[in-house]
A = this chain, B = another copy of it.
Amino acid sequence: MQAKEAAERLGITQRMLRHYEKEGLMDVSRTFNGYRSYSETDLRRAGRIRDFIATGFSTREIRAMSACLSDEGSGPCEGGIEKLTEKLMHIDRLRAELDDKRNAVLERLATLRNGLSALGTDP
């Protein structure tokens, strides 16, 4: 498929798609006229790149674990697991704190409701 459709399906701009290519993250074939032609495989790869970037990885880091980008599980995906696990730790820490906070708010709300019902406002 052509650039426009690919970008739309991925929810990113053509500019970003070209960027991935120029950064050596993917290799897109061209039709006779020079237009890029994205295969479904290309799409999936680009989708992974998009996710990696959205998760705070740089193209440099992503390039370093390019085995993590192909459909084929051909390589041991050098370092990929470790790096991702690290990111996951960051997320997990944040999420745990957010959850605590959310629970605190919920509790406060519950207490408030209890207080009200204790006053006989509720059956």
Among B77, B94, B103, point to the contact of A84 (Cβ < 8 A): B94
A93 to nearest B CB, angstroms?
5
Cα-based distance from A77 to B105 in the complex (angstroms): 9
B105 with A68: CB separation less than 8 A: no
Q: How many copies of this chain are found per oligomer?
A: 2
In the complex, the answer to whether B56 meets A54 with C-beta atoms within 8 Å is yes
B80 and A98 contact, CB distance less than 8 A: yes
Interface flag for A120 (CB, 8 Å): no
Interface of A is mostly: helix
Knowing that A55-B91, A77-B101 touch, tell me 18 more A-B residue pairs with CB under 8 angstroms: A48-B93, A48-B97, A51-B91, A53-B56, A54-B56, A54-B87, A55-B55, A55-B56, A55-B94, A68-B97, A73-B101, A73-B103, A73-B104, A75-B105, A77-B98, A81-B102, A84-B91, A88-B95
Instruction: Tell me the A residues contacting B by CB distance below 8 Å.
Output: 48, 51-56, 68, 73, 75-77, 80-81, 84, 87-88, 90-91, 93-95, 97-98, 100-105
